[in-house]
Amino acid sequence: MSDQTRCPSVLSSKLNPYEVALQQFRAAADILELGEEYRKQLEIPMRVMTVAIPVRVDDGRIEVFVGHRVQHNDARGPFKGGIRYHPQVTLDEVKALAMWMTWKTAVVDIPFGGAKGGVQCDPKKMSDNEIERLTRRYAYMVSKILGPYTDVPAPDVYTEAKHMTWFYDTYSQVVGHSEPAVITGKPVIVWGSPGRNEATGRGTVITAVEAAKKLGIDVRGATVAIQGYGNAGSHAARIIAEEHGAKIIAVSDSKGGIYNSDGLNPFKVLEHKKRTGSVVGFDGSRSISNDELLELDVDILIPAALEEVITRENADRIRAKIIVEAANGPTTPEADEKLYEKGIVVVPDILANAGGVTVSYFEWVQGVTRMRWTLDEVRSRLKEKMIDAFEDVYGISKEKKINMRKAAMVLAVQRVVDAIKARGIWP
């Protein structure tokens, strides 16, 4: 999922993201009464690679960056997960995200496991040439554990199609032949998929619409606030407004937010952001903070920034009827419980933002088969996958009287454990 404007990073939080991921897994494991042997297999990543990445920067100096690739579990298929560039990337963050990817691919029932990559750098302070050299060196250093049937990366925070193209080209040079299926999120011209760029936002909207139906909320005219106006957030705003008639009343990015009770034009807001570097200062809006946006009285709240923005400190002040998590891990476990008690439906990240990895799967299939799908085909297949997954999770939530995150985790963990049992242990 290429994303997104950033809110405060995970390092500013008191919570360790890996501990959050473990808490969520253990809660599902308790419900499923999993044995210790499965708990240990799924709590510990199958492989962790940390590399020192030397890069010659534009002034001739050599800087060394730290990069990670964590492969959590491949019982259901090749490892799958994005690569993020951020100055505060940590190994624990990458481990958490890799685990979440295992659950995400299982929830939408695609034949992948979970992985994640990250490089600790500040791409905003680097030239394109420096970022290309960093990307190619990182790709070379982790290439020995990647492959179209082994581990298939994708974009994430501060990475996008051009980074994936450099990665694809570097890997192809290493193995001696063109291999477009080694990575997803590429431009269509080099075996990317139509609809991949919008996929995370579109999947978010599909689940938001389904949740609204369950609550009897008409999305046409429903009020929406979106924290984070990068790839996922801006596409979600466009799609829910243009195709479903919702009213976007607030959006934000790392520099602040904007509000207009009469509604914001998502296209014009995006043009303003591209022109000025932020949504802040958009004509006809008033400024609000990211914290204020989260607490607005809206029908649908879409957190599309970084982790842990809805916490036990602000959960009591959240007034949205539905929260749809376009970001990874925006809600802490304590906040989850408070929101559930208040009757707020939270569509969890491993379901809500799985549109990106689902269309990545479609791209992988197209790369492996060298067959091209149309945009309409991709959108239709995505909608079918997301609705099926939503209904599965919602059904478990109602049956077991648990919130949707626990329901999604129960579904995902059960599917992974079933695959482990079926495959057995070798030798």
pLDDT value at residue 14: 56
Q: What is the dihedral of CA 100, 103, 104, 108, to 10 degrees?
A: 180
Q: The sheet that has 47-56: what strands, in order across it?
A: 47-56, 62-73, 114-120, 79-86, 151-155
Q: Would you state the pLDDT for residue 131?
A: 98
Task: Report yes or no: 13 and 260 within 8 Å, Cβ to Cβ.
Answer: no
Output the pLDDT for position 3: 36
Q: Is 377 helix (H, G, I), strand (E, B) or coil?
A: helix
Q: Which residue in 210, 261, 275, 206 sits closest to 235, CA to CA?
A: 206
Residue-range domains of the chain with CATH = 45-187 (3.40.50.10860), 199-352 (3.40.50.720)
Q: Which CB contacts under 8 angstroms, 24+ apart, belong to 240-244?
A: 240/205, 240/208, 240/209, 240/300, 241/266, 242/266, 243/205, 244/205, 244/209, 244/219, 244/220
Query: Which residues make Cβ contacts (< 8 Å) with residue 30, sequence separation at least 6?
Result: none
Q: Enter the tokens of residue 179.
A: 């291999």
Contact 358, 385 (CB under 8 A): yes
pLDDT at 308: 87
| Alpha carbon distance 45, 66 (integer Å) | 19
38, 286 Cβ separation under 8 angstroms: no
Q: For residue 20, what pLDDT is reported? A: 85
Distance CA 348, CA 226 (A): 15
- 213 a catalytic residue: no
Classify strands 62-73 and 47-56 as parallel, antiparallel or unpaired: antiparallel
pLDDT per residue of the chain (427 residues) written in tens, 0 to 9: 443 333 333 334 457 889 989 998 999 999 999 999 999 999 999 999 999 999 999 999 999 999 999 999 999 999 999 999 999 999 999 999 999 999 999 999 999 999 999 999 999 999 999 999 999 999 999 999 999 999 999 998 899 999 999 999 999 999 999 999 999 999 999 999 999 999 999 999 999 999 999 999 999 999 999 999 998 999 999 999 999 999 999 999 999 999 999 999 999 999 999 999 999 999 999 999 999 999 999 999 999 987 789 999 999 999 999 999 999 889 988 999 999 999 999 999 999 999 999 999 999 999 999 999 999 999 999 999 999 999 999 999 999 999 999 999 999 999 999 999 999 999 9
Distance of CA 292 to the CA centre of its chain: 23
Q: Enter the pTM of the model.
A: 0.92
Which pLDDT value is given to residue 6? Answer: 32
CB distance 139 to 53 below 8 Å: no
Q: Other CB atoms closer than 10 Å to residue 127's CB: what's the count?
A: 11
Can you spell out the DSSP letters for 197-220?
A: TTHHHHHHHHHHHHHHHHHT--ST
Q: Which of 116, 247, 321, 406 is catalytic?
A: 116
